[in-house]
Amino acid sequence: MVIENVTKNQSVLDWVKDKIELVQPDKVVLIDGSQEQIDALRAEACSTGEMIKLNQEKLPDCYLHRTAVNDVARVEGRTFICSREEKNAGPTNNWMDPEKAYKMLYDIARNSYKGRTMYIIPYSMGPIGSPLSKVGIELTDSIYVVLNMCIMTRVSTKVFDVLGDSNDWVRGLHCKCEINEEKRYICQFPEDNTIISVNSGYGGNVLLGKKCFALRIASYQGWKEGWQAEHMLILGIENPQHEVKYICAAFPSACGKTNLAMLIPPETYLKKGYKVWCVGDDISWIRKGADGRLYAINPENGFFGVAPGTNEKSNPNALASTKKGTIFTNVAHNLDDNTVWWEGLDKNPPTNAVDWKGNPWNGQTSEEKGAHPNSRFTAPAVNCPCLSPEFENPNGVPISAFVFGGRRAKLAPLVYQSRDWNNGVFVGSIMASETTAAAAGAVGVVRRDPMAMLPFCGYNMGDYWQHWIDIGKTLDPDKAPKIFNVNWFRKSDDGKFLWPGFGDNLRVLEWIIDRCEGKVDAVETPIGYVPNAEDINLEGIEDEVSRDTLKSILNVDKDLWKEETKGIEEFYAKFGDTLPEELKHQLSILKENLDK
């Protein structure tokens, strides 16, 4: 099938033709999302070694892929926002003049598909045809990208029926080229709805529907159109009365969104009848509904989850999601039974294996890791045992609370509530977290990551904060989500986690929901409201977490926070006149509170 047969949209036809002329593919294939086409592409990828077919009894329709060793994570240093004016990219993004960027990228892309096939992927972010969804087209020369996009998004030529002759669609051009680090660029052109990614074959750099579109381009669209694109999971908590309350939570990359979104309640909660439903694990698109509340959809159709640390105990739902139709990237390959393994899966690493680099690996004796710390699984959402019945709801789910959080060994308490919407925006804006393997660079260094959007905001972060404040002004305070901050990662002086985390995080979410409903008191501190230690349910974990330990991780240390305000001031100073007055005001209130 050719694209002219499925759409008459001139903006689509012109753009595709133009790009074909640029990159000069030997062949052009339109992807329609059909099973026959997917099967044929899988077979082709296996014949060239691009993918390995895994044990079809244990892991039906599952495959393994290894990327180049220099291409294993997002590359923030080579990611650019190419707005016409530098000021609109803001102080936290790399900026390149669009004219210069197009020229440079076209020079790299020119003729790069020679001897290769161009795959045209039409897809929808969000349920096809939903008022909250958007259409994209990605051109790629990678079968791995096609097969991942077929899991992560709704790939279908039906999107052309929805699109009609509209120009409101996102252009994405991906060229593997030679996977040359020196020429790797991930460029977003928010004013042109365009993404160009060259010289990478890894996840967030090349699955253009995900971070590039659903966050960087979409955050800009949301700013212009009055909605929000956020790096947030969406989960529903069903109480014993069968009422379901929804929470959106923003944590930086590899800081626990997938784990929280699919958590299994602790025994005592299960007995009472609590359930947790996963709507999404990474990205939320949020808009005000007719009833004045905020509604969120998950624009994705699958999970691109961190493999290491995922196991039967920490996240059984994620593990179950990977048992069929999944692509594993950069994990270890167990040759004995043709399955996969990663650090933290179990205590029984394979002896006869191949590591993520493709070298022979004995997990019992090797000092090296079998799987890359940022190895991932791409699993269809429908596989998830706790997938919310609302997952396909085109109108999304109503949000009761926004939760921000990060990795802070000290400082941030287990949970606190902001005083009101604007104070909540301040709480999100001052987030900081220890860096992880999800991006190239040092791991474990505390850096500011406002709303977990530092690498993903497609415009000036100061304008983004103002957008948050402006959204708040349109909401009736009774209907606005309440805003909280959590920290599952407080450590003792000898480096041990003080909070068990994972399923036990529901204990904290229960307090959050109770606060939203005015059912529980709190203690006012300089930073906001903190629980009374008696109000966090410790039933069943009393041996692990004493009431005193709980008190210590709920504690707000004024001296540490005073130190912290200096870092906030320094960070805010970068924004000049784009820093919202309201946030300056919030910072001055915090300083006053700490001096009291």
- What would the x/- binding string for ligand GTP be over residues 301 to 340, using CB under 6 A? ----xx-xx----x--------------------------
Among 17, 41, 58, CA closest to 322: 58
Q: Which of 255, 278, 384, 457 is labelled catalytic?
A: 255
Q: Does 449 bind Mn ion (CB under 5 A)?
A: no
Q: Does 304 bind ligand SPV (CB under 6 A)?
A: yes
What's the per-residue H, E or C state across 489-549? Answer: CCECCCCCECCCCHHHHHHHHHHHHHHHCCCCCCEEECCEEECCHHHCCCCCCCCCCCHHH
What are the residues whose beta carbons fall under 8 Å from the beta carbon of 582, sequence distance 6 or more? 422, 425, 426, 469
Which tokens belong to 371?
A: 């799987």
Cβ 205 to Mn ion, closest distance in Å? 13
Question: From start to end of 59-193, where are the E strands?
Answer: 63-65, 79-81, 94-95, 117-125, 134-140, 154-155, 169-175, 185-189
Q: Does 210 bind ligand SPV (CB under 6 A)?
A: yes
Find which of Mn ion, ligand SPV, ligand GTP, none residue 138 binds, CB within 5 to 8 Å per kind.
none
- How far CA 285 is from CA of 125, 222, 279, in Å, comes to 10, 9, 12
Which residue is nearest to ligand GTP, using beta carbons?
Answer: 501
Among 33, 126, 172, 203, binds ligand SPV (CB under 6 A): 203
Q: Does 488 bind ligand GTP (CB under 6 A)?
A: yes
Cβ 75 to ligand SPV, closest distance in Å? 10
Active-site residue flag, 278: no
Total residues contacting ligand GTP (rule CB under 6 A)?
A: 22
Q: Is 217 left (phi over 0), alpha (psi -120 to 50) or beta?
A: alpha
Decide whether 137 or 208 has the Cβ nearer to ligand GTP. Answer: 208
Which pairs with CB-CB distance under 8 Å and at least 24 residues apart come from 588-595? 589/423, 590/426, 590/526, 590/527, 590/561, 590/565, 591/562, 591/565, 593/526, 593/527, 594/526, 594/558, 594/561, 594/562, 594/565
- What would the x/- binding string for ligand GTP be over residues 264 to 283, using CB under 6 A? -----------------xx-
Footprint of ligand GTP on 506-565 (CB under 6 A): none
If residue 405 lies in a helix (H) or strand (E), which one and from where to where? Answer: strand 397-405
Cβ 253 to ligand SPV, closest distance in Å? 3
Q: Does 254 bind ligand GTP (CB under 6 A)?
A: yes
Strand, helix or coil for residue 376? strand
- What would the x/- binding string for Mn ion be over residues 236 to 275, using CB under 5 A? -----------------x----------------------
Among 282, 390, 434, 463, binds ligand SPV (CB under 6 A): 282
Q: Does 129 bind ligand GTP (CB under 6 A)?
A: no
Name the site residues for ligand GTP (rule: CB under 6 A): 251, 253-259, 281-282, 305-306, 308-309, 314, 438, 488-489, 497, 501-502, 505
- Annotated catalytic residues are 255
